[in-house]
Structure 1
């Protein structure tokens, strides 16, 4: 009888251990990023404390459950924060950065449902050194309204000899399919070389469909890692109100010991209206204190054409409003900590 009790106790412990292995989470993660920002627009200078400059401040939960045969159920809930004020980011949404649930399998890929980063944004981030954040021209020149998509399905394929693809479908859930989005992409990696492309079509209104294209490439030379990204936007609006433009950016990351120097230059050109482009040059230096903590400082400048008002956006927030034709210069210094 004693042996039976021991066997029974061992079985319970084993079952508990296996159950713990089968399920991971919830795991708490996040970023706290804050800095001082000095901005000059035309002849006016302002100084402020901002949140989420090089990394969007956030807190989130994620986890997964092993369902057998290599298949896992997974979820992510991630809220944005403006830690300089304590307010929620993304317009006050509870989990405005990401909120999705789905399945993954190493043979068949990953399928999730909810609020996601668009595949277009993922491609832009992959071909701008360090991600599409403060200091990147394409973070200033792109359309920020397609950064994330609600009510969306997102599929990511496994790697097939260096080739992978993604596909996203967002349901506008309005009459006449307004808001519907289709967004595929592909990437190919061969050693230190990586190339990719993405296309997005959004039925914005009954009278206007927007079409976005991104092409990118990157190469790690060892001492320097470089990326090039090209972006286009076309719409069906009259020329007087059209947002159609082309833009490109070349960026580089230069390791200096454990620290990093980042550089980026890009230009935009309006395709429907005259003098609606601009150019941007930025540099940033990160002093890495540990794997999770870094100090940073940087300088970014935008030269707007006569009818353009591009501004310096951070990793998580839109920059200050800029009157058409004004030049913008911004200096930053801050600290970022991940957990």
Structure 2
């Protein structure tokens, strides 16, 4: 009787590769579930008739009420309540086809990071500042055309490069955010930003505050503060927002100011009326105050398309030259002491 010969077990290579995912899955090392990126966007274009003191100008403008944009966003489930998240968002001008935000490819937002149900969300890249989020939350409409503080705020702090942003979960109605941005200058803190905020929500009432400190120049630290609140009564939503800006520049060039805005939204079926009034008081120079009033009506055609019509007016004192900014572009140049008014009629479509 011949002895039985045994061979070491051999698995064909092709079959091994096919079964590898099974073994990895059994070991708990399988790849996390993956979601395809979401393409989204918004197109806003309108006719504007503006008088800034040099005669009336009629123009076709992009991003009047909301900035025209398209972007990609998505997430990947990492397990344990954690996800990897990302957003890449481009701003553009419908009237010319040019890129917005100074020609940046993803000038509106570009970030990647993590979110966890228990610990919050942290992302890195180019973000809206936490300070901007507070302003947009308590200026009804979102700090866009028609919001008085969209005309009076410092636009250079609304988005921050080289930034890390953290958002906490809500705890007993409270939540917080924190952002730091790096100036990235060797041996210098110029450009560094520190920006925390806190919010509280209880039913229809919401309130929040934020501060932002920036080393703009070696001899100039800037500080911005804002405090806001809103209440939604159903038939009307009301909001109030205060804003302060301080610097260390001499009075002739200082931008130190106090400003406030009161805003309201009145639903009319699926449509809405938006109202805003605000004032700005220059701290460093006399006769540098301004006031602004705006009204807008939004008419809903469908879930993704609406029409809007609005009127905005700024009254400038002798040493003020505030202009009517759209949500994505600066307003026309205004000479000192001139008032500005603008009527708009446009269309907004989201996808």
State the TM-score, normalizing by the size of structure 1. 0.94
* Aligned residue in 2 for 1:101: 112
Shift of 1:25: 2.5
* Aligned residue in 1 for 2:12: none
Q: What CA distance in whole angstroms lies between the structure 2 residues aligned with 1:139 and 1:25?
A: 35
Contact 2:111-2:127 within 8 A present in 1 as well: yes
* Aligned residue in 2 for 1:189: 201
1:271-290 alpha-carbon deviations (Å, 9 max, x no partner):
11111120000000000011
> Counterparts in 2 of 1:301-312, with a 5 A limit?
301-312=313-324
Contact 2:207-2:230 within 8 A present in 1 as well: yes
Larger radius of gyration: 2
Any gaps of 5 or more consecutive residues in structure 1?
none
Any gaps of 5 or more consecutive residues in structure 2?
1-14
2:239 is aligned, of 227, 244, 247, to 227
1:218-255 alpha-carbon deviations (Å, 9 max, x no partner):
00011100110000000000111100000000000000
* Aligned residue in 1 for 2:155: 144
| SS in structure 2 of the partner of residue 53 of structure 1 | coil
Structure 1 residue ranges, 4+ long, deviating more than 2 angstroms after superposition? none
* Aligned residue in 1 for 2:127: 116
* Aligned residue in 2 for 1:325: 337
Q: What CA distance in whole angstroms lies between the structure 2 residues aligned with 1:299 and 1:249?
A: 17
Contact 1:312-1:328 within 8 A present in 2 as well: yes
1:182-234 alpha-carbon deviations (Å, 9 max, x no partner):
00000000110000000000000101110000000000011100110000000
Q: What CA distance in whole angstroms lies between the structure 2 residues aligned with 1:186 and 1:24?
A: 32
- Tell me which moved more, 177-186 or 36-45: 36-45
Q: What CA distance in whole angstroms lies between the structure 2 residues aligned with 1:250 and 1:232?
A: 15
* Aligned residue in 2 for 1:283: 295
Q: What CA distance in whole angstroms lies between the structure 2 residues aligned with 1:20 and 1:250?
A: 50
Query: Are residues 1:335 and 2:347 paired?
Result: yes
* Aligned residue in 1 for 2:64: 53
> Counterparts in 2 of 1:1-339, with a 5 A limit?
22-175=33-186, 176-339=188-351
| SS in structure 1 of the partner of residue 77 of structure 2 | strand
State the TM-score, normalizing by the size of structure 2. 0.91
Contact 2:141-2:147 within 8 A present in 1 as well: no
